[in-house]
Amino acid sequence: MAKAKKTAFFCQNCGYESAKWMGQCPACREWNTFVEEPTAAKTPAGTQGIGNHSAAGRKPVHLTEISTGKEERIPTGIGELDRVLGGGIVPGSLTLVGGDPGIGKSTLLLQVCRMLSTAGHQVLYISGEESLRQIKLRAVRIGEFNENLSLLCETNLDIIRAVMEKEKPEMAVIDSIQTMYNEEVSSAPGSVSQVRESTNVLMQIAKGMGISIFIVGHVTKDGNVAGPRVLEHMVDTVLYFEGDRHASYRILRGVKNRFGSTNEIGVFEMQTEGLVEVKNPSEYMLNGRPEGASGSVVACSMEGTRPILIEIQALVCHSNFGIPRRTAAGCDFNRVNLLMAVLEKRARVNLSTSDAYVNIAGGIKMNEPAIDLGIALAVVSSYKDQVIDEKTVVFGEVGLSGEVRAVSMAEQRVLEAKKLGFERVILPAVCMKSVEKIGGIALIPVENIQDAILRVGKN
């Protein structure tokens, strides 16, 4: 009789392995995440490890003996992507790109392949979801390609490894990791075991052969990459595409980056020929702003080293029910409730009988505390039906005592407002020392939320 295949239970959220099913994962504390899958075949000792070198030949190396070389990064030719990556692609790095279906992951990576191949780099695009003809149709829409770009439609990682060893590309794209499979793992492609083992194989290829690999990852309905969270720990960089796929803009955000900052974002606009960089996102976000409307305030938020001006909208109206409704889009819901409580207590604004709806125009998501003052003034503006001067920018963190606290990089925020033609900036009084030398724009310091409400009403 044939031996029955051994199975184990894996957590779909973190990859924790258990011999029996459990309702709650003891590692990540999530409920109902365990699935039963066959266990991976054991690899003989001495054959594992990055670079496929035997353990007998390994010895420690002093840090001073390691040379990084002069060419540490490869520019992609797309400035917004280079900003998020920290200056370009690091040779031998493994990057995961996630996002909703139709958001533009494959389009962006195909554009990267085009720019790198045009610059003379050897690029290999591996697809497990599209045929060669389908990729060609998409590539024609993007632009002209040369012979430095090679295409391969394959899902078997053993064949992919053999092709990479033969072709030796400088960069490779895997679209997508959920379609790849390792023959040593008996479970279906896309399962927890396959995704984990496939990523491990690609990591060994990237580190051992010095190939920069981009992996496309599908996302769940919660917005996380499908498969175990251990997948995000294995790669060097995790990039997420955000934005409504029915809208024209896209935001590329770095969630993890071993070679750069995770605070930077890249802004793109989806057009017929593909994704186009938005080099001035502030102007783009404020496009179509209404004139003479109450509840509209322009605030300034920092994303890494880049200041972005955003329009915060609030609608406050009388509630017909005993419990008023609160809605927040683009900002933290609990933060909005906290700021409304501060307005009620410190500024004597009676909001307990009013519905409140707060929105950041353009669909962008911002959680920086510096937009607190903008949210509070937008709510007061809508409640009093008082229009705020459209040439005014506000920023500052609001504390529970109603004080307006300092924020970082105040000088960059003021300069961005000045560059876009704004005439007034309402900012924390403690930030005045760093911006008082800037001329050509009126600076209005405020110490608390009551002072800000009074000053913003003086047009």
Known binding-site residue numbers for ATP: 99-106
CB 303 within 8 A of CB 264: yes
In this structure, the strands spanning 354-360 and 306-318 are: antiparallel
- Secondary structure letter of residue 82 according to DSSP: H
d(CA 61, CA 55): 14
- Read off the amino acid at residue 376: A
> Which residue, 127, 132, 215, is CA-closest to 177?
215
- Secondary structure letter of residue 351 according to DSSP: -
3-class SS of residue 164? helix
CA 142, 145, 149, 152 dihedral sign is positive
| Radius of gyration of the chain measured on its C-alpha atoms | 26
Say how many C-beta atoms besides its own lie within 10 A of residue 259's C-beta: 16
Binding residues: 99-106
- Secondary structure letter of residue 52 according to DSSP: S
Those residues with Cβ within 8 angstroms of residue 439's Cβ, 6 or more apart along the chain or in another chain: none
Helices (H) and strands (E) in the chain, counts: 12, 21
Rounded to the nearest 5 degrees, what angle is found at the Cα of 266, between the Cα atoms of 431 and 280?
A: 65
CB 179 within 8 A of CB 219: no
Task: Return the structure tokens found at 13.
Answer: 């959220």
d(CA 53, CA 35): 34
The secondary structure of 370-387 as a DSSP string is GGHHHHHHHHHHHHHT-P
Query: In Å, how far are 63, 131, 332 from 327, measured between CA atoms?
Result: 53, 44, 10
d(CA 260, CA 247): 29
Q: How many residues does the chain have?
A: 459
CB 227 within 8 A of CB 195: yes
d(CA 87, CA 73): 7
